[in-house]
Amino acid sequence: MNTRQFKTVSLKTEVKWRKKAWLVENTIFKTSNRRNAEIRNENDTTSVVVFTYLHPLKMNLNLILVSAIAVINLTLIHSSSVPRKIVVAVDGGTESIRACCFDDCGNIVGKSCAIPYETYHEQPGFAEQDPADWWNNMGQAVRGALASVEEEFELGETTSKEWSFSNWFQNIFGAGESEVEKVDVRSLVAAICIDTTCCSVVVLDENHKPLRKSLLWMDARSAPQTVEIMKKAKGDKALKVNCNGNGPISAEWMTPKCMWIKQNENSLYNKAKYICEYQDYINYKMTGVMCASSCNAAARWHWDGDKCIDTTKDKYAGRPMSLYKKVGMLDLADKLPQVCLPMGSLVGRLTQEAADHLGLLPDTPVAQGGPDAFVGMVGLGCIHSQQLCLITGSSHLHCVVTSKPLTANGSWGAYKGAPLPGINFAEGGQSSTGSLSRWAKKLFGAQELSYKTLDDEAESIAPGSDGLIALETFQGSRTPVTDPLARGALVGLTLSHSRGHIWRALMEAVCLGTRACIDGLESAGHTCSEIIIAGGTTRSPLWLQMHADVTGKPVILCENIDAPLLGCAILACVGCGIHASVEDAVRSMVRVSRRVEPDPRRQVIYDKLYNEVYTKLSPAVRPVVHSISKLRGGGQSDIDLTVSPSILAADWSDMKNEIRKCVDAGLLRIHTDVFDGVYIDSPNALTFGPQVCMLDLLCTKCVQSYLKKVF
């Protein structure tokens, strides 16, 4: 029997007998030499372990009664060890597609299965994938996840039929073998849901066949189109989500990618019946229904996520028709999916062909998903106003849920109806956070030096690092001030400062920068009462506490750190009716493992440091670093360069100048962020695989070529 603990109906009669340590013969289940079961009462506070053994020569009425009770209990537990229903969650990431099964309480059932696929970089800045690989590999991933469930619970081998006295009597007296009912794992699956990378664009013909490889989300070829859109549609209300209409627009987004296709592959654009996303293509392959996710549309298509889901009165409800008209692409509204569904709604049911491919039963419900990072917000339980989701890694991404769809300079959004209908979220970010700690650790030299050792040294130093303060903008500033020329600084150094002081100052700088981003979002009308955090920062207790102390907000860690997959499981449970709403599902499936409260004494110190020093330092340093960028490197060049960083790493609208600015400022390396929905904590993390290395190699060759010409 599986040793996992299950809540079962407690039989009080058995508790009376626990002092007698009754033993029942192993023939009860005929599956192992000795079985034990942990039985928890309804309040989940008392555990009783029962070992039973039945000696046929010493039976009496009481013994038979107690043994029968034990058999009933053990059979109930044995049957309950196989979940009544599970859902399949699928994460279509940058480098692989993963599948994992969950129960309705958010517990992982079996193991996740990841199948990698190839990314094609035909030119620097180009990134393409074959949609056929997505679908083929999804079949392997789902089948692998289901196989792990079968293996964990030995389905078809040890699952007893419903208990009856006659079956129990036969087991006890050897009058025959107990019947075994084979359980088909497919019958346990209540629904399936997928999240994918956002704005990985697919072009389909009238038969829904891809006309070309997909333009992956990180594909940067449409950077010139972002500039064109800003020029032609300046002032359009749809562009308000791009820093209150001031830009930049990301080359990642749907409209510039579609414009590139129309301008550079016009015959293919005209032939296209549908232009959609990875998400939409896979849902179509599963159900035969072509629809978009309102979360994708709101966050990356310039659509109104609340209005676009209801087209009963207006075919183009929520669509940015004035924007399309200004850029000469009115026909795009008819090529994008006409149906738009919110996350968690029912897309349709598996066709026979899709079911055969995935190893599932036909008519299995398919729930609507969305972008990996924003489905991850659901997986972290970040769906209520004033909650901020902080995704940490090489950089920080801040997503705050808000009731007001307000826009402002220095922030992206707020996106209406995202991640879910009736709410909105705005986002901001920092370029250099976790990358700073790696840089400093390497700079300190000792390879055997652990992060914990550095944290311990920093923890022994008082807040404020004895007068040493840093700026974390080593690779530019994203928000609240967008400045690609911003650089880092250490101010106040003395001969008495140690390695621990520098380490603490850098950690504090990241936290102070996070507070600045939160202040920027709050100044736009998006208040935040708590921070739900995921990613690398969670491994440092000191840094977690520091985030709470500096921001003055409680920092919350969740039990399951694989937020995108859990988010899909939540949406699947809602789509098939296991849970009535996303809110209900989050309450049942997302659990907090730790809550870090701000320390009042340290908070006062950091308030003073932030208001009197940090907020004054960046404006004071800015003219100096801008002057340095003009002096260093020897001026401009006509070398044609393209790089492919993440959406927030730099100004996508003019990447040529971005790389020149980096080199002119003296940088010999380029930082690229790649996020495929898999946290580094996960054993399935493929974020830094061969495709990403190839991307970095292409960027490096561009930089080296440029350096040779300049120097």
21-78: pLDDT as tens digits? 323 333 333 333 333 333 233 333 333 333 333 344 344 444 444 444 444 444 444 4
pLDDT given for residue 410 in this prediction: 80
Which residues neighbour 477 within 8 Å (Cβ) at sequence distance 6 or greater? 430, 431, 483, 484, 486, 618
Range with the poorest average pLDDT among 9-23, 89-103, 137-151, 402-416: 9-23
DSSP state of 414: E
Contact call for residues 463 and 549 (beta carbons, < 8 A): yes
Q: Is the pLDDT of residue 162 over 70?
A: no
Report the C-alpha dihedral over residues 317, 323, 329, 334, rounded to 10 degrees.
Answer: -10
pLDDT of residue 124: 82
| Mean pLDDT, rounded, for 449-457 | 94
Q: Which residues pair with 535 in a beta bridge?
A: 392
Q: Are strands 189-196 and 365-367 parallel, antiparallel or unpaired?
A: parallel
pLDDT in tens, 385-422: 999 999 888 888 899 999 989 998 888 899 999 999 99
Which of 563, 251, 602, 520 lies closest to 383 in space, CA to CA?
A: 563
- Region 264-289 average pLDDT: 97
The whole-number average pLDDT for the span 612-621 is 95
Helices assigned H by DSSP within 485-581:
499-523, 541-551, 563-575
The rounded distance, in Å, linking the Cα atoms of 253 and 574 is 28
At 204, list the tokens.
């389909």
What percent of the chain has a predicted confidence (pLDDT) above 90?
Answer: 61
What is the mean pLDDT of the segment spanning 433-447?
88
Q: Rounded to an integer, what distance in angstroms lies between the CA atom of residue 25 and that of residue 30?
A: 10
Determine the pLDDT at residue 183.
Answer: 83
Q: What is the pLDDT of residue 561?
A: 85
Which is more confidently placed, 478 or 49? Answer: 478
CB atoms within 10 A of CB 646: 21
Average pLDDT over residues 293-305: 97
pLDDT at 612 over 70: yes
Quick one: which of 467, 682, 418, 424 has its CA closest to 564? Answer: 682
User: H-helix or E-strand containing 227?
Assistant: helix 223-232
Per the prediction, the chain carries an average pLDDT of 81
Contact 537, 463 (CB under 8 A): no
pLDDT band, residue 447 (cuts 50/70/90): confident
Fold of 375-622: Nucleotidyltransferase; domain 5 (3.30.420)
Compute the average pLDDT of residues 327-346.
Answer: 97
Helix (H/G/I), strand (E/B), else coil: 29: coil
The closest alpha carbon to 274, from 288, 291, 257, 252, belongs to 291
CB distance 461 to 503 below 8 Å:
no
How crowded is the C-beta side of 150, counted as CA atoms within 13 Å? 15
Sorting pLDDT into bands at 50, 70 and 90, what band is 461?
very high
With the CA atoms of 254, 568, 547 and 619 taken in that order, what torsion angle do they form, in degrees rounded to the nearest 10?
Answer: 0
pLDDT for the residue numbered 655: 55
Is residue 672 within 8 Å of residue 699, measured between CB atoms?
yes
All structural domains of the chain with their residue ranges = 6-81, 375-622, 623-710
Q: What is the pLDDT of residue 247?
A: 87
Between these two residues, 159 and 39, which has the higher pLDDT value?
159
CA 214, 217, 219, 222 dihedral sign is: positive
Torsion of CA 162, 166, 172, 175, to 10 degrees: -120
What value does the mean pLDDT take over residues 142-156? Answer: 89
160 three-state secondary structure: strand
DSSP character for 188?
H
Question: Within 13 A of 105's CA, how many CA atoms are on the CB side?
Answer: 6
Mean pLDDT in residue range 175-184: 59
Identify the DSSP state of 610.
I
DSSP-derived letter for residue 467 is: G
Note the helical H segments in 367-414. 372-379
Res. 106: pLDDT tops 90: yes
Helix (H, G, I), strand (E, B) or coil at 327: coil
Statement: residue 695 has pLDDT above 70: no
Does the structure show a pLDDT above 50 at 455? yes
